Structure 1
Amino acid sequence: MNVPEPVNLTNCDREPIHIPGSIQPHGAMLVMDPSGQKLLFASANIPCITGYGGDLIPGTAISLIVGEKNAHDFRNAAAKAREPGLSSVILGLRFPGKSLLYDAVVHTHLERTFVEIEPCADRGQSAREALDLTRSLIHRIGREETVERVAKTGVRLVRAMLGYDRVMIYQFLHNGAGRVIAEAKSPTLGSFMGQHFPASDIPLQARHLYLVNTIRMISDTSYQSIALCPSLESDEPAIDMSFAQLRSVSPIHCQYLQNMGVSASLSISIVVDDELWGLIACHHDSPKVAPLPLRIGAELFGQYFSLHIADCERRTTLQVTADARTKLDAIVSQLSISDEIRDSLGKQLSRLSELVAGNGAALWMNGQWLQSGDTLDEHQTRQLLKVAGRDSPRELWASQEIRGHLTDYTGSVAGMLAIPLSMAFSDYLVLFRNEEAHAIEWAGEPVKTTAETPFGARLTPRGSFDTWREEVRGRSTPWTASDLSVAQSIGTYLRDVILRQNELSEQERAKTEQRRRVLNAELNHRVKNILSLVKSIALQTGANAANIADYAQTLEGRLRALASAHDQSLDGKDGGSLAGLLETEVNLYSDTPGRITLEGPPVHLDQRAFSVIAMVFHEMMTNAAKYGALSVPEGRLKIRWKLEASGDCEMFWNETNGPSVTWPSRTGFGSKLIKNSLEYDLRGKTRIEYHRDGLQAQFSVPSVYVTQSYDGLITPDIQIEAVGKTHIDGMKILVVEDQSLIALDMENTLRKLGAEHINLASNAPEALEMIEISKPNLAILDFNLGDNTSENIAELLLKLKIPFLFTTGYSDRTLIPEKLRDITIVRKPISDSAIAAAINSVLG
């Protein structure tokens, strides 16, 4: 009895899509022997293209079919493409007696040389334009720093480059399914953003082809294939077209695309670490052929895009790991040497769990069990640790669905990550995650029906792609590559700590007493220095005070400045921020916003310089409040500082609009304090000048006391003219521009100005269709659109009373019809401020 073959993904994966025996009709194919001299197979349309009138018989000299020069060029191209997956390109070839130009791609595979021929692109400059466009796109995508931003920008750039109606980034997930993580599309299409596609939509053999042949185009999903002639002999190996661009496509896949409403497609593989990470999928609602130069450019862009995705993921993982390492340092620093390492780690379990966003943690060490938070019980955990020891000895073991390993388990914990802490894998740190019940949105119900094909029963594509929601239970959030990297760091770190613990504990006990003695000596030294400084301040203040009240007020202010400097230097562990010091002092005197301006780069002063500068600026602020610019409402003070090439910090004090000042008749303690503390204590420089319009001073702190930091940066308020003053938040804006890169630049500028809803059109019909679908609040029209203009768009906008402006690269306004010459014009190249000013003018 014959048992029917079960219909599942396994037999679907066996469809021989790499040997279809036919090609797509937008090109032609020659298959030659390894020498490139003789014909083996040819597509049936070769005579129409080459003009060859004879029979396509195996063994026919290639030169008879394509001409001697072309045959020579084919052989040279094949010689350059001997490596698997490598091809050579010939642009602009002409066949004898034919006027049309063609492009060709040549590659070798399994002792056969393949020549794929396509009509040359319409424009003679297409190769140069493709190169320029590709270079520009690579530059633009290189500015993005996260996978999310790279994907979001990438779809916009590819759509601008290739002109497809929809471009998506399709990322493969850990279970083989895919999800759309970015999308750029025509406004008339529905969205697949965020939707999932089951693994069966792209069978294993198709994924393999995407990996080895990284660009794939289907010019028309309803095409009639063209067979290769002659038919294979019974003992002849099939023609493997794995690397061919014209290779015919599985009818199932064509039906799948047609069910989506797709008439043409192009895909660019995203390959990370030699694995298929995802696809840049392009769809069009009518037949479309992307010219060969553009496809080559897109393939190069895809290779750079893949490298950039890999780089972003690695940087994210490194950053997450570095952050976790910092937190690990803090955790390990709190491990007590006097306690057993097991007990010390047990006190830190909740913090260790937080490193990977866990809900609980347990420690199995030296035969003892410790736990914190939401965990399995000891028996359940030991069951899973046996599985971990068997499946991944001495390695991490992770599962987001532990119910498959535990009988009759119904608890809330769903995920587990085991980290071995000993070479004998008897000790483990175990991290847990609770169940995350969630809904997955699928592009149609992920269930396929079956149909009989020439290859037997096969799964067929679904007919609907309407959103279908699935509720998922019993799983935690997946353990990501970053989580596993952090876990690896935890394991390495803790194993090292455990190995070193016994050695260090005895040394640490001996050092503890020594540290205590050093700390007491340092504290004693500092207290004596501060008391001596306080004594000097008190004596000098008393000698120069006019009365008791003046003495008390001045002494209090100076001691407060000293205390503030001491507090900030302790906060900074070794000195403090110059910006923070000045802000603290300014807040005591600036009762009116804008009276005091601070400006300078981030600068860190060591403890000695910090105390001196605190006293100096306290004296300066006190004098300004008593006698200078801050003593009158209209007075102003600007404090500016900079770092010289030598590393010295130069500070500038400038008072304006205050009372007239003159040189003092005597030098008080404050002036002596300023001069002596800087010049004597720090070997710095001071210069104070009494101008009639206000006091000016300059102070210099030597580089030995100065370092540049990255906190406390103070810069003056900058008002950006026009930019930031537009009122386009929430508006729908239409941009009509036939140059894709200029359109993308305009979109970026508008987003900086606050716009969110922006539609791009490259020609008048597309723009008019967008206006009919959804009227914009504002339009920006490139007047010259290739061979046409945007005049009819402008007339419609006038009729609808929708404000708009023109952009143009021409300097002569007379090119614009007289009835439209009053419309605001912005000339290219366009700056942010120019477009902002123009928008303000148009919107009134």
Structure 2
Amino acid sequence: MKIKDIVNHDIVNLTNCEHEPIHIPGSIQPHGFMIAFGTDDLKINFCSANVNEFIGISHEQLLGKVFLDVFGAQADTQLKRYLGNFAATKTSILKITLCQRDFQCTLHISGENYVLEAEPDTHTLNDVSDVYNQTALFLSYMNNTSTLRELCQLIAQGTRDITGYDRVMVYRFDKEYNGEVFAEACADNIEPFLGLHYPHTDIPVQARELYLKNLLRLIVDINYTPVPIFTIDEGTDKNLDLSLSILRSTSPIHVEYLQNMGVGATMTISLIHRGRLWGLIACHHYSPKNLTPEIRLAAQLQGQFITSQIDVRQSNEEYDLARRTNIALEKLNASELPPLMESFKIISVNPELLRLCNAAGVSLLISGQVFKNGLAPSDENVVVLSEKLRAYSNDTTFYTDKLINFVGDSKELCEDISGVIYHSLGNNNSIIWYRPETLSEVHWAGNPDKAIIKDSRGLHPRNSFNLWKQIIKCRSNEWLQPELNAAANYAHALQKQISMLLLSREEEKYRTLNETLKEANAELENINWISTHDLQEPLRKIQLISSKLMYGEQEEIIPQYVMDSLQRMNVSADRMQTLLIDILKYTRIKNSADGFELVDLNEIVSEIADETREVFHEKNGKISASHLPSIHGVPFLIKQLFSNIILNSLKYSDPARNPEIIISSSPNPVKSAASKNKLSYAVSFKDNGIGFEQQYAESIFNIFTRLHGVSEYKGSGVGLALCRKIMQTHGGNIVATGTPGEGSTFTLYFPVD
């Protein structure tokens, strides 16, 4: 049987340090031993090289053996009882006797193996008693703190009292995972780290991922020699994921980092809040130090107290801020302002608008007008900035405390401001709150730009942790959640104000249009009256006088040229009378459903055929109709409509052939663009007249429009306009198609409903 170690021998360099496989080091720390056995058969597949030091059996003797065969029935029973309730007990300690020695063990699953990590059982009753007393005392203290910082300080001190470490820090991450020592308890003879910042490179991504998986990490002696893990060489690349291991060996770069700090032992507890690594409880000792599993669990409990209280404590701290912003919001919403543009000027200068989110300035961009108060860019730059933020936010909302990161190509926008809250109000309107640059000094523990150093010996962490001061520029104070909430709430209310303004404008516009329409209708009634009485009376006198002169008994013979003039005058008067009558008909059509009834179109066609029989006889014309539907309409208007179309076809008949008009209907109702997408009956009038160019298919329905001169065809130019108005009155449509020299087709679409 060939045995090999699984130690990761890859050298860490600048190209792979961010991806160092710290979860599979292939080695452990020497203060305990590790064995891994199959989850199905309990056969030992991996074990550490130091098992002989703890149980007197070498790793060669263990590998490939079943747990029962090596450790006996009593240990096998203890293990199986623990595994039987593993889902419920996996966070508790397994106490087991192996080779007549007592061990305290942790157990977890890695792939297809149970990983058992064992340390000698050295606990005393005092350990348990001290842990209970300290935890009870901590709970009493916790009830007497209000802020998160006070709570973290209490936990730092409580954890130090329980564990005895020289230094305990509560380490909090920002959104870029730079760390800050948020609270600290340390021995009097060592330099405090409280308030120092550490760059995100000090704890790389893969390390943070492990902190999310394994909440407690212990290094008993920084200067330890890693113990390799062995397995049977089966010709495959066998490995063991130690992400959840307590004994897992540490990255050599991290070990050197701690050595550079002078640390001898550490314990780290993860603080997880809403699925994110919020921070760490970092414990440092300046000589080797180990803890019993009970004390480790008690320290881990302290971390859980913090994470369970983060929301509560932050809520307490934010309460006063939220109360003040809500007061400003209530005052703004209580202002009763008219729906006029002047209202936005009043709003912009209201001091509560700045108090709303503790801003130094504000701008409103409404319908192209800029209203400002306090610190704000020029009007032109407000428009430019609003457009940039509208595009960046996809016309929604946006906020930042470092504006230059988003408008670096327009640095003039950031000359006086660094923080903004932007809310789109629709239709290119917006409101923006502003904050100025706030110069701040950050105290780093060493130069953050030199976290990793490469020299002739290879890759190393920095060895200097001297205070390094950095001035932060082009950044405002961070916008807090209550401020963002208040800004969003007021932006929503402001959008309603704009809607009211727009509605008011529309109402005013429609009111003006309504007045104009009333005046136009009154004028139309006057024209109607004039057409009916004032114009027709002198016209009749002209016709009467011209008739007497032409056909009366005169003593003197009227010269022929005078007679011709009288005839032309009489023809013009007749044409004018026809025009007045048509105008009167056109203006009397009302767009209402009054008088609608079921109309049989076959009867309408029959009546018109009887009334126009002589006209058709004179021109040798013919009218034929298939069965037509019954529609809802005003009978006399439908008759006027059909009569106009039929007489129009007769008027524009081709002298070279006998006029023929064919009236037909679609067998079923149709729905198309021509019917304005309404289910309609389509009734067509097809003639063989002179036709027309299709480009005039719309213009022929305009009032007073004629395609031919008066000398060629008589008419007022009102007939087809009258047809369209009748169809509009019935909610339908009329469409014309024509071909010069072949004829025309007029199709009427009557809605089924």
Q: TM-score, normalised by structure 2?
A: 0.60
Distance 1:390 1:74 in 2: 63
Q: Once the two structures are superposed, what CA deviation does each residue of 1:236-278 show, in whole Å capped at 9, x if it has no partner?
A: 4531111111111111111111111111111111111111111
CA distance 1:90–1:479, change in 2 (3 Å): same
CA distance 1:56–1:17, change in 2 (3 Å): farther
Of 73, 93, 99, 2:96 maps to 93
1:445 Cα shift? 1.2
Say if 2:28 and 2:248, in contact at 8 Å, map to a contact too.
yes
Distance 1:102 1:256 in 2: 32
Aligned residue for 1:224, secondary structure, equals: coil
Distance 2:84 2:157 in 1: 37
Distance 2:233 2:141 in 1: 48
Q: Once the two structures are superposed, what CA deviation does each residue of 1:45-90 show, in whole Å capped at 9, x if it has no partner?
A: 223323335724543111233333323333343444459xx83433
Q: Once the two structures are superposed, what CA deviation does each residue of 1:458-498 show, in whole Å capped at 9, x if it has no partner?
A: 5x311111111112222222233444334333334444565
Structure 2: runs of 5 or more not aligned: 1-10, 507-753
Residue 34 (1) aligns with residue 34 (2): no
Say if 1:416 and 1:430, in contact at 8 Å, map to a contact too.
no
CA distance 1:54–1:235, change in 2 (3 Å): closer
The equivalent of 1:60 in structure 2 is 65
Of 52, 56, 75, 1:51 maps to 56
Q: Once the two structures are superposed, what CA deviation does each residue of 1:395-436 show, in whole Å capped at 9, x if it has no partner?
A: 4312222223233525543423333253x4733221111111
The equivalent of 2:729 in structure 1 is none
Q: Which amino acid aligns with 2:400?
A: S
Q: Once the two structures are superposed, what CA deviation does each residue of 1:339-385 show, in whole Å capped at 9, x if it has no partner?
A: 44851564346432333332211112233222211123344444444
Distance 2:157 2:197 in 1: 21
Q: Which amino acid aligns with 1:416?
A: G
Aligned residue for 2:408, secondary structure, equals: coil
The equivalent of 1:686 in structure 2 is none
The equivalent of 2:28 in structure 1 is 23
CA distance 1:502–1:63, change in 2 (3 Å): same
Of 68, 71, 75, 1:70 maps to 75
Aligned residue for 2:156, secondary structure, equals: helix
The equivalent of 1:174 in structure 2 is 175
Distance 2:37 2:142 in 1: 40
The equivalent of 1:313 in structure 2 is 314
Aligned residue for 2:19, secondary structure, equals: coil
The equivalent of 1:475 in structure 2 is 475
The equivalent of 1:418 in structure 2 is 421
Aligned residue for 1:428, secondary structure, equals: strand
The equivalent of 1:579 in structure 2 is none
Aligned residue for 2:322, secondary structure, equals: helix
Q: Once the two structures are superposed, what CA deviation does each residue of 1:702-729 show, in whole Å capped at 9, x if it has no partner?
A: xxxxxxxxxxxxxxxxxxxxxxxxxxxx
Distance 1:500 1:273 in 2: 41
Distance 1:272 1:341 in 2: 48
CA distance 1:136–1:465, change in 2 (3 Å): same
Aligned residue for 1:403, secondary structure, equals: helix
Q: Once the two structures are superposed, what CA deviation does each residue of 1:738-757 show, in whole Å capped at 9, x if it has no partner?
A: xxxxxxxxxxxxxxxxxxxx
Distance 1:273 1:152 in 2: 22
1:198 Cα shift? 0.7
1:11 Cα shift? 3.6
Distance 1:382 1:160 in 2: 59
Distance 2:334 2:505 in 1: 13
Q: How does 1:271-350 map to 2 (within 5 A)?
A: 271-337=272-338, 339-340=340-341, 343=344, 346-348=347-349, 350=351
Q: Which amino acid aligns with 2:76?
A: A
Distance 1:452 1:41 in 2: 37
Distance 2:180 2:58 in 1: 51
Aligned residue for 1:220, secondary structure, equals: coil
1:499 Cα shift? 5.6
Distance 2:185 2:12 in 1: 40
Say if 2:419 and 2:436, in contact at 8 Å, map to a contact too.
no
Distance 2:72 2:383 in 1: 75
Distance 1:443 1:116 in 2: 35
Distance 2:480 2:233 in 1: 49
Say if 1:134 and 1:298, in contact at 8 Å, map to a contact too.
no
Q: Which amino acid aligns with 1:70?
A: A
Distance 1:45 1:462 in 2: 33
CA distance 1:391–1:471, change in 2 (3 Å): same
Q: TM-score, normalised by structure 1?
A: 0.54
Q: Which amino acid aligns with 2:70?
A: I
Say if 2:333 and 2:493, in contact at 8 Å, map to a contact too.
no
Distance 1:398 1:27 in 2: 52
Say if 1:23 and 1:43, in contact at 8 Å, map to a contact too.
yes
1:387 Cα shift? 4.5
Distance 1:299 1:43 in 2: 26
1:214 Cα shift? 1.3
The equivalent of 1:189 in structure 2 is 190
Query: How many residues get paired?
Result: 493
The equivalent of 1:448 in structure 2 is 451
Distance 1:302 1:435 in 2: 36
The equivalent of 1:252 in structure 2 is 253
CA distance 1:43–1:481, change in 2 (3 Å): farther
CA distance 1:171–1:36, change in 2 (3 Å): farther
CA distance 1:494–1:270, change in 2 (3 Å): farther
Say if 1:398 and 1:417, in contact at 8 Å, map to a contact too.
yes
The equivalent of 2:432 in structure 1 is 430
Aligned residue for 1:176, secondary structure, equals: coil
CA distance 1:131–1:44, change in 2 (3 Å): farther
CA distance 1:77–1:392, change in 2 (3 Å): farther
Q: Which amino acid aligns with 1:238?
A: N
Q: Which amino acid aligns with 1:38?
A: K
Distance 1:452 1:231 in 2: 38
Residue 465 (1) aligns with residue 468 (2): no
Say if 1:444 and 1:467, in contact at 8 Å, map to a contact too.
yes
Say if 1:77 and 1:88, in contact at 8 Å, map to a contact too.
no
1:309 Cα shift? 1.7
1:391 Cα shift? 4.2
CA distance 1:492–1:317, change in 2 (3 Å): farther
1:280 Cα shift? 1.1
Distance 2:488 2:76 in 1: 57
The equivalent of 2:531 in structure 1 is none
1:197 Cα shift? 0.6
CA distance 1:91–1:57, change in 2 (3 Å): closer
Distance 1:353 1:433 in 2: 10
CA distance 1:488–1:347, change in 2 (3 Å): closer
Aligned residue for 1:35, secondary structure, equals: coil
Distance 1:341 1:400 in 2: 31
Select the structure of larger CA radius of gyration: 2
The equivalent of 1:164 in structure 2 is 165
Structure 1: runs of 5 or more not aligned: 507-844
Aligned residue for 2:98, secondary structure, equals: coil
The equivalent of 1:214 in structure 2 is 215
Task: Give aligned-pair identity as a percent.
Answer: 27
The equivalent of 2:580 in structure 1 is none
The equivalent of 1:270 in structure 2 is 271
The equivalent of 2:375 in structure 1 is 374
Aligned Cα root-mean-square deviation (Å):
3.2
Distance 1:505 1:268 in 2: 63
Aligned residue for 1:60, secondary structure, equals: coil
Distance 1:35 1:492 in 2: 61
Distance 2:205 2:233 in 1: 26
Say if 1:268 and 1:279, in contact at 8 Å, map to a contact too.
yes
Say if 1:78 and 1:113, in contact at 8 Å, map to a contact too.
no
The equivalent of 1:407 in structure 2 is 409
Q: Which amino acid aligns with 1:159?
A: R
Q: Once the two structures are superposed, what CA deviation does each residue of 1:541-595 show, in whole Å capped at 9, x if it has no partner?
A: xxxxxxxxxxxxxxxxxxxxxxxxxxxxxxxxxxxxxxxxxxxxxxxxxxxxxxx
Say if 2:331 and 2:352, in contact at 8 Å, map to a contact too.
no
